[in-house]
Amino acid sequence: MVYHNKRRKIRTLSICFAAIALTGSLLAGCSGTASPSQGIKPTAAPETKHPEPKTPATMETTEVDEQPSDVYYEIFVRSFYDSDGDGIGDLQGVIEKLDYLNDGDPNTTDDLGVTGIWLMPINPSPSYHGYDVTDYRSIHPDYGTLDDFKRLLAEADKRGIKIIMDLVVNHTSTEHDWFKQAASDKASATRDWYIWAEDQGKTPSGVSAAGSGSPWHELNGAHYMGTFWGGMPDLNFDNPKVREEMKDIGKFWLELGVDGFRIDAAKHIYEDLMSDKGEETTAKNTAWWQEFRASMNEVNPDAYIVGEIWDNSAAVIAPYLNNAFDSGFNFSLGESIIGAAMNEKDNNLAFTLERTYGLYSQVSGGKFTDAAFLTNHDMNRVMSQLKDDGNHAKMAAGILLTMPGNPFIYYGEEIGMKGAKPDEQIREPMIWSNTGNEKGQTTWEPLKHNRGDQVLGVEQQTDDEDSLLSRYRTLIRWRNEMPALNRGTIKSYSSGNQQVMAYIRHTNDSSTLVVHNLSGTEQTVDLAAKNGSAEFHTLSKTTDNHAALNGSSLKLPPYTTVILE
């Protein structure tokens, strides 16, 4: 088998200077959490005074902890593209739209240019969302067959697109044969695969760690644990047979050719109750994921594994990066990006990232990769959070796609799709055209937020140079072309202007300055005033040709992103 998820990582030598400080004062200020049922809404970032960052001229010469990058596109197959006319998206539909995502030709500009796909659950399930699995080694019949999936993997590989899939191991469906046997017969071989209060001498009380009320659900005179919902009974990972089965399932998909996994509910394997939160529970969780990672390495040591660790504290996420996950989704960064775009103010997110990465590098031995995103399938869509402001959406995209690591785009985000809770309405059908009769348009869910008078489809935006879709294509193309944007780390940089965000992206061999005018008015930045000298002399990329660099004076039109070298 050929593995195309090759990791090029240079081990950190001195980037870890802030790790100890992070676990203390800095991280104490970002310990808020949220459950998948709550969603996260951005708040205005407080004005914070930070020490002046080092300038390029005074930075210490160190080896850079580079983060190899792919741009991932999150697909809910049911909503994406319908190949057979039944109103439900399917794997063949994803195949037919691969050229929209990346046609494999770097010289074309009418594809999005992503190099990775994250497929939300594709296993059989009684629910529309698929997070309650009934068969871990099959494909949902609405989506196709294993042969369809193999064709998708092959076609994606031709275009240089990696595919990772949702792996939901925290719980199964109540309709899984394992649970049916366990519930009907206390002597069943799978009874201990689940957590039964009466069997384990536990009191069926307490509050779910996921914030969904009581985690206990009664059935046949007994109570089983279901942290998220009664239809999703938690598996008992204290049972070694459960752990072995889940490792075998992971190997099955890697051997089929999958490039890795997005791990659902990663911190809830043992964290069942609000009272479970703590170092001991985290240690049990990370020990399991280290066991899982070691097992996956036997098949593909380059498999990319990103965990859903829904927490804003870097100190909580860090342990999972120690020989377990390559990445943990950066929920805090998503909030910061949306907050900066919404408020049109620099919140110095690079300052925090620079120090957070020091901690992550230390814990992972220089092997971690960040996973940046704006929103996902559990959160109100970014365009709705930004109150349908297209300029703010462009700036959020500009920041996201100039961040280190692997940025993730939620399907439809690139055309400004909207959506707010309940979950079905943030997973509405992808809008391919406003004509209403576009071939492949899915219809499983009625449109509430994305009717033709509310959002422009792909067809309407594709030839419009000023569209949000065109902005996404441009930014991803920049990222694919420029090594510093693609795999560089980040350094804070003072613009001296609250409405202008700036930071340096650099590798061992190249360096760029990213500058965003977050505001609706023209801004001028003196690159030498706050940083000692103007180290960047060439205006290399711009989203507006009216941007200009004269000496150290940089003129930025409204809502513009530029790259200087």
- Catalytic annotation, pick one of 264, 335, 413, 414: 264
Look up 166 and say whether it is catalytic: no
DSSP state of 463: T
Task: Report the alpha-carbon distance of residue 519 to residue 345 in Å, rounded.
Answer: 8
Q: How many CB atoms lie within 10 A of CB 86?
A: 12
Task: Report the alpha-carbon distance of residue 215 to residue 211 in Å, rounded.
Answer: 9
Task: Report the alpha-carbon distance of residue 172 to residue 193 in Å, rounded.
Answer: 10
Are 285 and 270 in contact, with CB atoms under 8 Å apart?
yes
Task: Report the alpha-carbon distance of residue 128 to residue 265 in Å, rounded.
Answer: 18
302: tokens are 């380059």
In three-state secondary structure terms, 462 is: coil
Residue 233: CA count within 13 A, CB half-sphere: 28
Are 330 and 370 in contact, with CB atoms under 8 Å apart?
yes
70: tokens are 């792919």
Task: Report the alpha-carbon distance of residue 271 to residue 122 in Å, rounded.
Answer: 25
Look up 74 and say whether it is catalytic: no
Q: For 174-193, give the DSSP string.
A: TTSHHHHHHHH-TT-TTGGG
Q: How many CB atoms lie within 10 A of CB 354?
A: 21
Give me Rg for the CA atoms of the chain. Answer: 23
Q: Which helix (H) or strand (E) holds 247?
A: helix 240-256
Q: How many CB atoms lie within 10 A of CB 301?
A: 12
Task: Report the alpha-carbon distance of residue 143 to residue 86 in Å, rounded.
Answer: 11
First to last CA, the chain: 40
- Catalytic annotation, pick one of 276, 308, 326, 370: 308
Closest CA to 111 of 125, 93, 126, 97: 97
Residues 546, 481, 303, 139: is their CA dihedral positive or negative? positive
Contacts of 496 (CB under 8 A, 6+ apart): 525, 526, 529, 530
Are 433 and 439 in contact, with CB atoms under 8 Å apart?
no
DSSP state of 149: H
Residues known to be catalytic: 264, 308
